[in-house]
A and B are shown apart, each in its own frame.
Chain A
Amino acid sequence: MNLAWLLILLPLAVAAANQLVLKKTGLAPLISTASAIATFVLAVLLLGKNETSHFAWATIGDFSINIGYKLDQLSTGMMIVVTGVGMLVHIFSLAYMKEDSAKARYFTGLSLFMFSMTGIVLADNFIMTFIFWELVGLSSYLLIGHWYQKDSAADAAKKAFLCNRIGDFGFLVGILMLWGITGHLAFDSMKGGLEHFIAANPLIATGVISAAVLCIFCGAIGKSAQLPLHVWLPDAMEGPTPVSALIHAATMVAAGVYMLFRLQFTLGFEHFEGLTASTVIAWTGGITSLVAALMATQQDDIKKILAYSTLSQLGYMVMAVGLVAGEAGMFHLFTHAWFKALLFLGSGAVIYACHHEQNIWKMGGLLKKMPITGFTFLIGFLALIAVPGFSGFFSKEQILEAAHEKNQALFWIAAGVAVLTPFYMTRLFVVAFLGKTKSENADHAHEVGPLMFVPLLLLAVLGFAAGYPAIASKLAPAYHQPEHLIHLGLVTYVSIAALIIGVVTGFILYTGKDKDPVSIPLFQNRFYLDAIYEKGIVRYFQDAFAMIISFIDELLITGLIVNGSSRAAASFGNLFRKVQSGSLQGYAFCFGLGCLFVIYFAVFGH
Chain B
Amino acid sequence: MATLNDYLLVSGLLFAIGLAGVVMRRNIIIVFMCLELMLSAANLTLVAFSRFHVTANGLPDYNGQMLVFFVITVAAAEVAVGLAIIVALYRARQTIHTDELTSLKG
The range of chain A's interface size is: 10 to 19
Tell me the minimal C-beta distance from B105 to chain A in angstroms: 3
Tally A-B pairs: CB < 8 A. 36
At the interface, yes or no: A584 with Cβ under 8 Å from chain B? yes
Inter-chain contacts of A589 with B (CB < 8 A): 23
At the interface, yes or no: A592 with Cβ under 8 Å from chain B? yes
Taken together as a complex, chains A and B put the C-alpha atoms of A592 and B31 apart, in Å, by: 14
At the interface, yes or no: A588 with Cβ under 8 Å from chain B? yes
Contact between chains at A582 and B31 (CB < 8 Å): no
Taken together as a complex, chains A and B put the C-alpha atoms of A578 and B98 apart, in Å, by: 18
Which of A578, A581, A585 makes the CB contact (< 8 A) with B23?
A: A585
At the interface, yes or no: B77 with Cβ under 8 Å from chain A? no
Contact between chains at A581 and B102 (CB < 8 Å): yes
Taken together as a complex, chains A and B put the C-alpha atoms of A585 and B98 apart, in Å, by: 8
Contact between chains at A577 and B98 (CB < 8 Å): no
Which of A576, A582, A588, A592 makes the CB contact (< 8 A) with B105?
A: A582
Contact between chains at A584 and B19 (CB < 8 Å): no
Tell me the minimal C-beta distance from B25 to chain A in angstroms: 8
Taken together as a complex, chains A and B put the C-alpha atoms of A577 and B105 apart, in Å, by: 8
Interface string of A563-592 (1 = CB under 8 A from B): 000000000000011111111110011001
Taken together as a complex, chains A and B put the C-alpha atoms of A583 and B22 apart, in Å, by: 12
Tell me the minimal C-beta distance from A332 to chain B in angstroms: 77
Contact between chains at A588 and B104 (CB < 8 Å): no
Among A576, A579, A581, A585, find the residue whose CB has the most chain B CB atoms closer than 10 A. Answer: A585
On whether A577 and B106 interact (CB within 8 A), knowing A584-B98, A584-B101, A585-B98, the answer reads yes
Inter-chain contacts of A580 with B (CB < 8 A): 104-106
Q: Residue of A at shortest CB range from B28?
A: A584
Inter-chain contacts of A578 with B (CB < 8 A): 106
Q: Residue of A at shortest CB range from B99?
A: A583
Inter-chain contacts of A584 with B (CB < 8 A): 28, 31, 98, 101
Inter-chain contacts of B98 with A (CB < 8 A): 583-585
Q: Residue of B at shortest CB range from A577?
A: B106
Inter-chain contacts of B103 with A (CB < 8 A): 582
Tell me the minimal C-beta distance from A59 to chain B in angstroms: 52
Tell me the minimal C-beta distance from B100 to chain A in angstroms: 10
Tell me the minimal C-beta distance from A283 to chain B in angstroms: 75
Contact between chains at A582 and B104 (CB < 8 Å): yes
Inter-chain contacts of B106 with A (CB < 8 A): 576-582
Question: Could you name 10 residue pairs across A and B whose Cβ atoms are closer than 8 Å?
Answer: A580-B105, A580-B106, A583-B98, A583-B99, A583-B105, A585-B22, A585-B23, A588-B22, A592-B19, A592-B22
Binding site for B on A (CB under 8 A): 576-585, 588-589, 592
Given A584-B101, A585-B98, A592-B23, output 6 extra A-B contacts at Cβ < 8 Å. A580-B104, A581-B102, A582-B101, A582-B102, A585-B22, A592-B22
